[in-house]
Amino acid sequence: MDIAGKNILVVGLARSGAAAAEFLAAHGARVTVNDAKPENELKDAAALRAKGIEIVAGSHPDELFEKSDLVVVSPGVPLGLEPFQKARAAGVPVIGEVELAARFLRGRLIGITGSNGKTTTTTLTGELLKRAGLPAQVGGNIGTPLISLVETSRDDGFTVIELSSFQLEAVDQLHLFVSVIINITPDHLDRYDSMEGYVAAKANVFRNQTANDFAVLNADDERVAQMNSLTAAQVIRFSRKRELDDGIFLRGAEIVHRQAGKDRGLITRDEIILRGDHNLENVMSALATGIACGASPDSMRAGVSDFKGVEHRLEFVAEINGVKFYNDSKATNVDAAIKCIEAFDGGVNVILGGKDKGGDYSPLAPLVSARCSNVILIGAAADKIAAALENTRPMRRASTMQEAVEIGLRLSRPGEIVLLAPACASFDMFENYEHRGRVFKEAVNRLAGAEN
């Protein structure tokens, strides 16, 4: 992709937007960054301006879009905005940061998406490939902008990418050697008009795949299973609930790979540190990807058995007076919260709430009744959640995370759990889910110190 001397507009000055702007400028483009926020709220603005990058903040001027040679969009910016439509009408290409990076990355790309489990699966996949001696790097929605990995990519290596639906909206030529869809459940319905739009965005992982590529699909998820016909790639299915004629499945306590009628045991449940049935699916996804990339089963068994998980995903924080605290701030939708609660047999005092994403909280009700002792509500969605969980378990309100943690400890009996599984976005009270998780852990550790 020839970018030297081109007028390129980057829209959205979040982490990936800033990284894209710096990359483009370093490769000779004339770069302008545009964000609807005022410049005093853009923390990277001064540093970018010092590198010769123009900043236009506070609005989206039409002429800025129409005079550009290329528009690069950060994933948090909706592609349906009118200026993007005018840019396309003027013949200006509009792509995302992931698509930009894909034009420059060397080696083979692995794209992992799903409503839940992306970060755990992406991190574990990277670890399994490295354990097998394969050159691998990890980025995308997981935290490191994909464009930042271009310089470290290599022809004989793999880049493992966590892909959100927002990122997948703006892909065109992205070609994945392995595409992975872990699951699809209702999410981001505040951005999409319907589930169909959300599912269509996820299906973009199959775009440009050929018969020499692989697609890893969850056979237990109805929406994902139906996508079998959407890819030209070789499909590797996985199932936690039944044996498959071909693929990866759970038989008793063992994860088995069946290929051409031959079975091979990969690992047992007892060897996996991660809690919960949903993490079995994440492990299966990573194992299937490793097999597609040529990783040895023995090295993957060792890699999975050593993997302790990632921050903010069912992360053990501390035990106070016999009460264990777990942080799953990444549970930003209802299905993710359900999976977290299901990881425990009972005695869960769950902290729910945050910014509503247009989801239905009523599917939580049966599980809250069965496995929770109390519900602690925080954030803007508290009233909506309370209405959905009426007549399930006692509910308390907290105005801060510190208060929620204190209420959780006060209500819990020894042997019980306090679980942060918000089922909501974080932006009403926090910068992002990581910030929310850190505040929760700080509150727990502060309380642990006070109790000692």
Could you give the 3-state DSSP secondary structure of residue 421? coil
Beta bridge partners of 57: 35
Could you give phi then psi for residue 338, rounded to 5 degrees? -60, -45
* Packing angle, helices 277-293 and 334-342, rounded to 10: 100
Of the candidates 20, 25, 17, 43, the residue with the CA atom closest to the CA atom of residue 149 = 20
Q: What is the DSSP string of 7-51?
A: EEEEE--SHHHHHHHHHHHHTT-EEEEEESS-GGG-TTHHHHHHT
- Where does residue 211 rank: exposed (0-12), middle (13-18), buried (19+ CB within 10 A)? exposed
The catalytic residue positions are 118, 141, 188
Maximum C-alpha span of the chain = 66
In terms of Cα–Cα distance, which of 373, 345, 377 is closest to 361?
377
Q: How far apart are CA 181 and CA 291, in angstroms?
A: 16
179 three-state secondary structure = strand
| Residue where the block lists tokens 């018969």 | 211
Dihedral of CA atoms 355, 358, 361, 362 in degrees, nearest 10, equals: 160
Q: What is the C-alpha radius of gyration for the chain, rounded to an integer number of angstroms?
A: 23
Per the document, the length of the chain is: 452
Element holding 99 (H helix, E strand): helix 97-102
| Distance, CA of 405 to CA of 444 (rounded, Å) | 6
Question: Helices 297-306 & 118-131, crossing angle to 10 degrees?
Answer: 130
- What is the rounded distance in angstroms from the CA atom of residue 359 to the CA atom of residue 350? 18
